Amino acid sequence: LFCLQEHLKEHSLCVFFRNNHFSTMFK
């Protein structure tokens, strides 16, 4: 369970940064 939670956290962080990158690109 803990391992999965860590993985989800990392994944969400990745997605967040990617979205952020796109946002700055289109600004």
Locate the domains of the chain by residue range. Answer: 1-27
- H helical segments located in the chain: 2-26
The distance of Cα 9 from the centroid of its chain, to the nearest Å, equals 8
Residue 1's pLDDT is: 65
Residue 27 to residue 21: CA distance in whole angstroms: 10
Length of the chain: 27
Whole-structure pTM over 0.85, yes or no? no
Q: Sign (positive/negative) of CA torsion 10, 12, 15, 16?
A: negative
Q: What is the pLDDT of residues 1-27, one digit of tens each?
A: 678 888 888 888 878 888 887 877 776
